[in-house]
Chain A
Amino acid sequence: MIVADYPLQEFAALARAGRLFLRTGPFVVQIESDLESGIAGLHSLYADHELSINSPFADFRIALNRSSRWRSWGLPRATFVSESNSVFEPFPRNSALAYFEWGLNGCVCSRANDYLMFHAAAVEREDVALVLPAPSGSGKSTLTAALVFSGWRLLSDELTLVTPTTGQITALARPIMLKNASIEVIRDRFPSAVFARQIAATIRGRVAQIRPPRASVEQCHLPARPTHLVCPQFQAGARTELTPISRSDALRALLNCTLNFSLFGEAGFQAAADLVERCTCQALTFGCCEDAAAALSQWLPTADRSLPRFAAHSNTAECPAL
Protein backbone atom coordinates (compact mmCIF):
# COMPACT_ATOMS: atom_id res chain seq x y z
CA MET A 1 0.00 0.00 0.00
CA ILE A 2 1.12 3.54 -0.65
CA VAL A 3 -0.01 6.72 1.04
CA ALA A 4 -2.32 7.64 -1.86
CA ASP A 5 -4.24 4.41 -1.31
CA TYR A 6 -5.54 5.85 1.94
CA PRO A 7 -8.19 8.57 1.82
CA LEU A 8 -7.05 11.68 3.63
CA GLN A 9 -9.58 11.18 6.46
CA GLU A 10 -8.35 7.67 7.15
CA PHE A 11 -4.74 8.81 6.86
CA ALA A 12 -5.44 11.57 9.40
CA ALA A 13 -7.08 9.14 11.81
CA LEU A 14 -4.08 6.83 11.56
CA ALA A 15 -1.77 9.79 12.15
CA ARG A 16 -3.64 10.78 15.29
CA ALA A 17 -3.29 7.21 16.54
CA GLY A 18 0.44 7.16 15.71
CA ARG A 19 -0.05 4.31 13.28
CA LEU A 20 1.58 5.71 10.19
CA PHE A 21 4.67 3.75 9.28
CA LEU A 22 6.07 5.52 6.26
CA ARG A 23 8.89 3.99 4.28
CA THR A 24 11.23 6.53 2.73
CA GLY A 25 14.37 5.15 1.15
CA PRO A 26 15.87 2.61 3.54
CA PHE A 27 14.05 4.02 6.58
CA VAL A 28 10.72 3.41 8.26
CA VAL A 29 9.36 6.49 9.99
CA GLN A 30 6.57 6.19 12.53
CA ILE A 31 4.50 9.36 12.56
CA GLU A 32 2.02 10.60 15.10
CA SER A 33 0.30 13.90 14.43
CA ASP A 34 -2.79 15.88 15.31
CA LEU A 35 -2.03 18.73 12.94
CA GLU A 36 -4.65 18.73 10.21
CA SER A 37 -2.76 20.90 7.76
CA GLY A 38 0.48 19.07 8.42
CA ILE A 39 -1.19 15.72 7.84
CA ALA A 40 -2.76 16.92 4.61
CA GLY A 41 0.63 18.12 3.45
CA LEU A 42 2.29 14.80 4.26
CA HIS A 43 -0.53 12.97 2.49
CA SER A 44 0.18 14.96 -0.65
CA LEU A 45 3.99 15.11 -0.56
CA TYR A 46 4.47 11.46 0.33
CA ALA A 47 1.60 10.20 -1.84
CA ASP A 48 3.72 7.60 -3.62
CA HIS A 49 5.59 6.31 -0.58
CA GLU A 50 4.93 2.91 0.93
CA LEU A 51 2.82 3.00 4.04
CA SER A 52 1.91 0.38 6.56
CA ILE A 53 -0.29 0.78 9.59
CA ASN A 54 1.43 -1.82 11.67
CA SER A 55 5.12 -2.33 11.83
CA PRO A 56 7.18 -4.02 14.49
CA PHE A 57 10.02 -1.63 13.83
CA ALA A 58 10.63 1.99 12.99
CA ASP A 59 13.98 3.67 12.45
CA PHE A 60 12.60 7.00 13.63
CA ARG A 61 9.56 7.83 15.72
CA ILE A 62 8.25 11.32 15.17
CA ALA A 63 5.44 13.15 16.90
CA LEU A 64 4.31 16.33 15.15
CA ASN A 65 1.67 17.77 17.40
CA ARG A 66 0.00 20.92 18.60
CA SER A 67 1.74 22.73 21.36
CA SER A 68 -0.52 23.94 24.15
CA ARG A 69 2.20 25.71 26.07
CA TRP A 70 3.41 28.18 23.50
CA ARG A 71 1.24 30.82 21.99
CA SER A 72 3.75 33.57 21.47
CA TRP A 73 2.40 36.49 19.48
CA GLY A 74 -0.93 34.68 19.39
CA LEU A 75 0.30 32.20 16.78
CA PRO A 76 -0.69 28.60 17.33
CA ARG A 77 2.42 26.53 17.75
CA ALA A 78 3.49 22.95 17.17
CA THR A 79 6.26 20.66 18.32
CA PHE A 80 8.46 18.07 16.66
CA VAL A 81 9.41 15.32 19.09
CA SER A 82 11.62 12.39 18.19
CA GLU A 83 12.42 9.67 20.70
CA SER A 84 11.12 11.91 23.50
CA ASN A 85 13.38 14.79 22.47
CA SER A 86 11.98 18.11 21.36
CA VAL A 87 14.20 18.90 18.43
CA PHE A 88 13.05 22.50 17.90
CA GLU A 89 11.53 25.22 20.00
CA PRO A 90 7.78 25.25 19.36
CA PHE A 91 7.20 26.65 15.88
CA PRO A 92 4.22 28.10 14.00
CA ARG A 93 1.80 25.34 13.09
CA ASN A 94 1.59 26.53 9.53
CA SER A 95 5.31 25.74 9.19
CA ALA A 96 4.92 22.16 10.43
CA LEU A 97 5.57 20.55 7.06
CA ALA A 98 8.92 22.29 6.71
CA TYR A 99 9.87 21.40 10.27
CA PHE A 100 8.93 17.79 9.59
CA GLU A 101 11.48 17.66 6.77
CA TRP A 102 14.16 19.47 8.75
CA GLY A 103 13.51 17.29 11.77
CA LEU A 104 13.60 14.11 9.71
CA ASN A 105 16.89 15.28 8.21
CA GLY A 106 18.16 15.64 11.76
CA CYS A 107 17.02 12.12 12.64
CA VAL A 108 18.79 10.67 9.61
CA CYS A 109 21.95 12.69 10.29
CA SER A 110 22.16 11.72 13.91
CA ARG A 111 21.28 8.07 13.68
CA ALA A 112 21.76 6.58 10.21
CA ASN A 113 25.45 6.07 10.71
CA ASP A 114 25.71 2.95 8.58
CA TYR A 115 26.02 5.45 5.77
CA LEU A 116 28.65 8.00 5.00
CA MET A 117 26.47 11.09 4.67
CA PHE A 118 27.03 14.16 2.58
CA HIS A 119 25.16 17.42 2.35
CA ALA A 120 24.66 16.85 -1.34
CA ALA A 121 22.02 16.22 -3.93
CA ALA A 122 22.21 13.21 -6.22
CA VAL A 123 20.38 12.23 -9.39
CA GLU A 124 20.71 9.30 -11.74
CA ARG A 125 19.84 8.49 -15.30
CA GLU A 126 20.80 5.46 -17.36
CA ASP A 127 23.60 4.52 -14.99
CA VAL A 128 25.02 8.04 -14.92
CA ALA A 129 24.82 9.18 -11.31
CA LEU A 130 25.59 12.78 -10.56
CA VAL A 131 26.56 13.93 -7.07
CA LEU A 132 26.16 17.64 -6.27
CA PRO A 133 27.89 18.48 -2.99
CA ALA A 134 27.27 22.05 -1.92
CA PRO A 135 26.47 24.13 1.13
CA SER A 136 23.07 25.76 1.54
CA GLY A 137 22.42 28.65 -0.83
CA SER A 138 24.30 27.12 -3.76
CA GLY A 139 21.20 26.55 -5.87
CA LYS A 140 21.50 22.82 -5.37
CA SER A 141 17.82 22.12 -4.79
CA THR A 142 16.67 24.28 -7.71
CA LEU A 143 19.07 22.56 -10.06
CA THR A 144 18.07 19.17 -8.68
CA ALA A 145 14.39 19.94 -9.23
CA ALA A 146 15.08 21.05 -12.79
CA LEU A 147 16.97 17.83 -13.52
CA VAL A 148 14.44 15.61 -11.78
CA PHE A 149 11.46 17.06 -13.64
CA SER A 150 13.38 16.55 -16.87
CA GLY A 151 13.61 12.83 -16.43
CA TRP A 152 16.41 12.24 -13.99
CA ARG A 153 15.79 9.96 -11.04
CA LEU A 154 15.93 11.71 -7.72
CA LEU A 155 18.32 9.98 -5.36
CA SER A 156 18.39 12.77 -2.84
CA ASP A 157 17.85 16.48 -2.62
CA GLU A 158 19.65 17.10 0.63
CA LEU A 159 21.34 14.06 2.18
CA THR A 160 23.33 11.71 0.00
CA LEU A 161 23.85 8.34 1.66
CA VAL A 162 26.90 6.37 0.58
CA THR A 163 27.64 2.84 1.75
CA PRO A 164 31.37 2.94 2.52
CA THR A 165 32.05 -0.66 1.58
CA THR A 166 30.40 -0.52 -1.84
CA GLY A 167 30.58 3.17 -2.73
CA GLN A 168 26.96 3.03 -3.81
CA ILE A 169 24.34 5.66 -3.12
CA THR A 170 21.19 4.53 -1.37
CA ALA A 171 18.26 6.52 -2.69
CA LEU A 172 16.26 8.72 -0.36
CA ALA A 173 13.73 10.32 -2.67
CA ARG A 174 11.97 12.67 -0.31
CA PRO A 175 10.28 15.98 -1.13
CA ILE A 176 12.49 18.70 -2.58
CA MET A 177 12.43 21.90 -0.58
CA LEU A 178 12.72 25.13 -2.53
CA LYS A 179 13.31 28.52 -1.06
CA ASN A 180 12.26 32.02 -2.09
CA ALA A 181 12.45 32.87 -5.81
CA SER A 182 13.42 29.34 -6.78
CA ILE A 183 9.81 28.34 -6.00
CA GLU A 184 8.51 30.39 -8.93
CA VAL A 185 11.41 29.32 -11.16
CA ILE A 186 10.42 25.68 -10.88
CA ARG A 187 6.67 26.27 -10.70
CA ASP A 188 6.74 28.25 -13.94
CA ARG A 189 8.96 25.85 -15.83
CA PHE A 190 7.42 22.60 -14.60
CA PRO A 191 3.68 22.96 -14.19
CA SER A 192 3.39 19.22 -13.55
CA ALA A 193 5.37 19.53 -10.31
CA VAL A 194 3.10 19.04 -7.29
CA PHE A 195 3.78 21.66 -4.66
CA ALA A 196 2.70 21.67 -1.07
CA ARG A 197 1.25 24.89 0.26
CA GLN A 198 3.89 27.57 0.42
CA ILE A 199 5.09 28.60 3.86
CA ALA A 200 5.62 32.31 3.99
CA ALA A 201 8.04 33.09 6.76
CA THR A 202 10.25 30.35 8.13
CA ILE A 203 13.67 30.74 9.65
CA ARG A 204 15.01 30.04 6.16
CA GLY A 205 12.69 32.38 4.31
CA ARG A 206 9.75 31.45 2.10
CA VAL A 207 9.72 27.72 1.39
CA ALA A 208 7.69 25.25 -0.62
CA GLN A 209 8.12 21.52 -1.00
CA ILE A 210 7.65 19.46 -4.14
CA ARG A 211 6.41 15.91 -4.23
CA PRO A 212 9.18 13.65 -5.57
CA PRO A 213 8.32 12.01 -8.90
CA ARG A 214 6.58 8.66 -8.51
CA ALA A 215 9.22 6.82 -10.55
CA SER A 216 11.96 8.04 -8.22
CA VAL A 217 10.05 6.84 -5.16
CA GLU A 218 9.27 3.49 -6.77
CA GLN A 219 12.93 2.96 -7.64
CA CYS A 220 14.24 3.87 -4.21
CA HIS A 221 15.37 0.31 -3.67
CA LEU A 222 17.84 0.60 -6.55
CA PRO A 223 21.25 1.90 -5.50
CA ALA A 224 23.35 4.01 -7.83
CA ARG A 225 27.07 4.24 -8.39
CA PRO A 226 28.40 7.80 -8.64
CA THR A 227 30.01 8.57 -11.99
CA HIS A 228 30.10 12.38 -12.00
CA LEU A 229 30.65 14.96 -9.31
CA VAL A 230 29.67 18.59 -9.82
CA CYS A 231 30.13 21.38 -7.29
CA PRO A 232 27.34 23.85 -8.10
CA GLN A 233 27.41 27.51 -7.21
CA PHE A 234 24.56 29.85 -8.03
CA GLN A 235 25.53 33.47 -8.65
CA ALA A 236 22.87 35.95 -9.66
CA GLY A 237 23.45 37.04 -13.23
CA ALA A 238 26.35 34.69 -13.80
CA ARG A 239 26.81 32.87 -17.07
CA THR A 240 26.71 29.11 -16.90
CA GLU A 241 30.20 27.73 -16.76
CA LEU A 242 31.36 24.17 -16.28
CA THR A 243 35.01 23.97 -15.34
CA PRO A 244 37.05 20.83 -14.76
CA ILE A 245 38.43 20.58 -11.24
CA SER A 246 41.14 18.33 -9.91
CA ARG A 247 40.12 15.27 -7.96
CA SER A 248 41.88 16.67 -4.92
CA ASP A 249 39.73 19.81 -5.11
CA ALA A 250 36.67 17.63 -5.61
CA LEU A 251 37.56 15.46 -2.62
CA ARG A 252 38.07 18.51 -0.45
CA ALA A 253 34.71 19.89 -1.56
CA LEU A 254 33.05 16.57 -0.83
CA LEU A 255 34.68 16.29 2.58
CA ASN A 256 33.56 19.84 3.37
CA CYS A 257 30.02 18.59 2.89
CA THR A 258 30.36 15.45 4.96
CA LEU A 259 28.05 15.10 7.92
CA ASN A 260 29.48 12.11 9.78
CA PHE A 261 32.91 11.57 8.27
CA SER A 262 34.63 11.63 11.64
CA LEU A 263 32.70 8.55 12.74
CA PHE A 264 34.25 6.50 9.98
CA GLY A 265 37.82 7.72 10.26
CA GLU A 266 40.09 6.11 7.70
CA ALA A 267 37.30 4.06 6.13
CA GLY A 268 35.37 7.27 5.52
CA PHE A 269 38.35 8.96 3.93
CA GLN A 270 39.03 6.01 1.67
CA ALA A 271 35.35 5.73 0.69
CA ALA A 272 35.14 9.43 -0.16
CA ALA A 273 38.43 9.29 -2.08
CA ASP A 274 37.25 6.19 -3.96
CA LEU A 275 34.03 7.96 -4.87
CA VAL A 276 35.94 10.91 -6.29
CA GLU A 277 38.36 8.63 -8.09
CA ARG A 278 35.50 7.02 -9.99
CA CYS A 279 33.99 10.36 -10.97
CA THR A 280 34.60 12.99 -13.57
CA CYS A 281 34.67 16.22 -11.57
CA GLN A 282 33.58 19.73 -12.48
CA ALA A 283 32.62 23.00 -10.88
CA LEU A 284 29.43 24.56 -12.15
CA THR A 285 28.75 28.28 -11.83
CA PHE A 286 25.30 29.33 -12.94
CA GLY A 287 22.81 32.13 -12.78
CA CYS A 288 19.94 30.27 -14.36
CA CYS A 289 18.98 26.67 -13.64
CA GLU A 290 17.71 26.11 -17.20
CA ASP A 291 21.08 27.03 -18.64
CA ALA A 292 22.83 24.95 -16.03
CA ALA A 293 20.73 21.92 -16.84
CA ALA A 294 21.40 22.42 -20.53
CA ALA A 295 25.13 22.62 -19.85
CA LEU A 296 24.96 19.41 -17.87
CA SER A 297 23.00 17.82 -20.69
CA GLN A 298 25.83 18.51 -23.09
CA TRP A 299 28.44 17.28 -20.69
CA LEU A 300 26.82 14.17 -19.27
CA PRO A 301 26.48 11.28 -21.68
CA THR A 302 22.80 10.49 -21.19
CA ALA A 303 21.23 13.87 -20.54
CA ASP A 304 20.71 14.45 -24.20
CA ARG A 305 17.04 14.28 -25.06
CA SER A 306 14.72 16.04 -22.70
CA LEU A 307 17.07 18.62 -21.29
CA PRO A 308 17.67 20.64 -24.47
CA ARG A 309 14.12 21.93 -24.09
CA PHE A 310 15.56 24.05 -21.30
CA ALA A 311 17.83 25.65 -23.85
CA ALA A 312 14.94 26.25 -26.20
CA HIS A 313 13.18 28.31 -23.53
CA SER A 314 16.31 29.63 -22.03
CA ASN A 315 16.83 33.32 -21.76
CA THR A 316 19.22 34.33 -19.05
CA ALA A 317 17.75 37.80 -18.86
CA GLU A 318 14.41 36.32 -17.82
CA CYS A 319 15.80 34.02 -15.17
CA PRO A 320 14.90 35.33 -11.75
CA ALA A 321 17.50 35.23 -9.06
CA LEU A 322 17.10 32.34 -6.65
Chain B
Amino acid sequence: MESIWQRVDGQEIRLRAWEGGAVLYDLRSGDTHLFDELSYAVWQSIGEHRASIADIARRTADCLETEDDDTLRQYVARCLGRFDSLGIIRVATA
Protein backbone atom coordinates (compact mmCIF):
# COMPACT_ATOMS: atom_id res chain seq x y z
CA MET B 1 0.00 0.00 0.00
CA GLU B 2 1.32 3.42 -0.96
CA SER B 3 2.41 5.67 1.89
CA ILE B 4 0.58 8.90 2.47
CA TRP B 5 2.79 11.75 3.60
CA GLN B 6 2.10 14.94 5.46
CA ARG B 7 4.05 17.68 7.11
CA VAL B 8 4.67 17.23 10.82
CA ASP B 9 1.82 18.60 12.96
CA GLY B 10 2.34 21.93 14.67
CA GLN B 11 5.30 22.62 12.49
CA GLU B 12 6.80 26.09 12.65
CA ILE B 13 8.79 26.54 9.52
CA ARG B 14 10.31 29.64 8.05
CA LEU B 15 11.54 29.40 4.53
CA ARG B 16 13.49 31.69 2.27
CA ALA B 17 13.59 30.76 -1.39
CA TRP B 18 15.51 32.17 -4.29
CA GLU B 19 16.40 31.05 -7.77
CA GLY B 20 18.60 27.99 -7.24
CA GLY B 21 17.08 26.74 -4.01
CA ALA B 22 15.80 27.55 -0.56
CA VAL B 23 16.74 27.41 3.08
CA LEU B 24 14.23 26.12 5.57
CA TYR B 25 14.44 26.99 9.24
CA ASP B 26 12.62 24.77 11.71
CA LEU B 27 11.80 26.95 14.69
CA ARG B 28 11.12 24.01 16.96
CA SER B 29 14.39 22.18 16.41
CA GLY B 30 16.49 25.20 15.48
CA ASP B 31 17.76 23.27 12.46
CA THR B 32 18.24 24.77 9.03
CA HIS B 33 18.02 22.73 5.86
CA LEU B 34 19.26 23.57 2.40
CA PHE B 35 17.02 22.63 -0.51
CA ASP B 36 18.11 22.68 -4.11
CA GLU B 37 15.51 23.65 -6.71
CA LEU B 38 14.21 20.11 -7.15
CA SER B 39 13.87 19.26 -3.49
CA TYR B 40 12.25 22.64 -2.87
CA ALA B 41 9.70 21.84 -5.56
CA VAL B 42 9.00 18.52 -3.82
CA TRP B 43 8.60 20.28 -0.48
CA GLN B 44 6.12 22.72 -1.98
CA SER B 45 4.25 19.87 -3.64
CA ILE B 46 3.60 18.12 -0.35
CA GLY B 47 1.37 21.05 0.47
CA GLU B 48 -0.61 21.45 3.61
CA HIS B 49 -2.56 18.21 3.29
CA ARG B 50 -1.87 14.50 3.08
CA ALA B 51 -0.52 13.34 -0.23
CA SER B 52 0.70 10.16 -1.85
CA ILE B 53 3.98 9.91 -3.70
CA ALA B 54 1.99 9.90 -6.92
CA ASP B 55 0.22 13.13 -5.98
CA ILE B 56 3.45 14.77 -4.91
CA ALA B 57 5.26 13.64 -8.05
CA ARG B 58 2.46 14.96 -10.25
CA ARG B 59 2.52 18.35 -8.56
CA THR B 60 6.30 18.44 -8.68
CA ALA B 61 6.21 17.71 -12.41
CA ASP B 62 3.71 20.55 -12.89
CA CYS B 63 5.86 22.88 -10.81
CA LEU B 64 9.01 22.04 -12.75
CA GLU B 65 7.19 21.77 -16.08
CA THR B 66 8.63 18.33 -16.65
CA GLU B 67 7.40 14.78 -17.25
CA ASP B 68 5.92 12.82 -14.38
CA ASP B 69 7.94 9.66 -15.04
CA ASP B 70 9.68 6.93 -13.06
CA THR B 71 12.86 8.94 -12.72
CA LEU B 72 10.98 11.80 -11.13
CA ARG B 73 9.02 9.46 -8.86
CA GLN B 74 12.23 7.85 -7.64
CA TYR B 75 13.68 11.28 -6.96
CA VAL B 76 10.54 12.31 -5.08
CA ALA B 77 10.70 9.12 -3.02
CA ARG B 78 14.32 9.84 -2.07
CA CYS B 79 13.41 13.41 -1.13
CA LEU B 80 10.54 12.23 1.03
CA GLY B 81 12.87 9.80 2.77
CA ARG B 82 15.28 12.62 3.44
CA PHE B 83 12.53 14.95 4.72
CA ASP B 84 11.33 12.15 6.96
CA SER B 85 14.81 11.67 8.40
CA LEU B 86 15.00 15.41 9.04
CA GLY B 87 11.75 15.19 10.97
CA ILE B 88 9.85 17.67 8.83
CA ILE B 89 7.34 15.22 7.32
CA ARG B 90 5.85 11.95 8.50
CA VAL B 91 3.74 9.10 7.24
CA ALA B 92 0.11 9.93 7.86
CA THR B 93 -1.87 7.57 10.06
CA ALA B 94 -5.36 6.57 9.13
Contact = CB atoms under 8 A, between A and B. Distances in A.
Contacts of B27: 265-266
Given A255-B32, A266-B14, A246 B25 contact: no
The residue among A252, A269, A273 with the most chain B CB atoms within 10 A of its own CB is A269
A248 B34 contact: yes
A276 B20 CA distance: 14
A255 B23 CA distance: 10
Interface residues of B, number: 16
Contacts of A276: 16
Interface residues of A, number: 15
A265 B12 CA distance: 11
Interface in A252-287: 252, 255, 262, 265-266, 269-270, 273, 276-277
Interface string B1-41: 00000000000001011111111010100101011100000
Interface in B67-87: none
Contact of B21 (A249, A273, A277): A249
A73 B74 CA distance: 63
A153 to B, nearest CB: 29
A247 interface: yes
Contacts of A266: 14, 25, 27
A252 B32 contact: yes
Contact of B16 (A249, A265, A273): A273
Contacts, number: 44
B57 to A, nearest CB: 23
Contacts of A262: 30
Nearest to B16: A273
Given A255-B23, A266-B25, A266-B27, A248 B35 contact: yes
B21 A270 contact: no
A251 interface: yes
A66 B40 CA distance: 57
A265 B19 CA distance: 24
Given A251-B16, A266-B27, A270-B14, A246 B21 contact: yes
A162 B17 CA distance: 22
The residue among B14, B23, B25 with the most chain A CB atoms within 10 A of its own CB is B23
Contacts of B34: 248-249, 252
B82 to A, nearest CB: 15
B14 A248 contact: no
B46 to A, nearest CB: 18
A276 B23 CA distance: 11
Contacts of B30: 262, 265
A251 B24 CA distance: 10
A252 B27 CA distance: 16
A251 B20 CA distance: 12
23 contacts: A246-B20, A246-B21, A247-B16, A247-B18, A247-B19, A247-B20, A248-B16, A248-B17, A248-B18, A248-B21, A248-B34, A248-B36, A249-B21, A249-B34, A252-B34, A255-B23, A265-B27, A269-B25, A269-B32, A270-B14, A276-B16, A277-B16, A277-B18
Given A249-B21, A266-B27, 14 more contacts: A246-B18, A247-B16, A247-B20, A248-B16, A248-B17, A248-B20, A249-B20, A249-B34, A251-B16, A252-B34, A266-B14, A269-B16, A269-B25, A273-B16
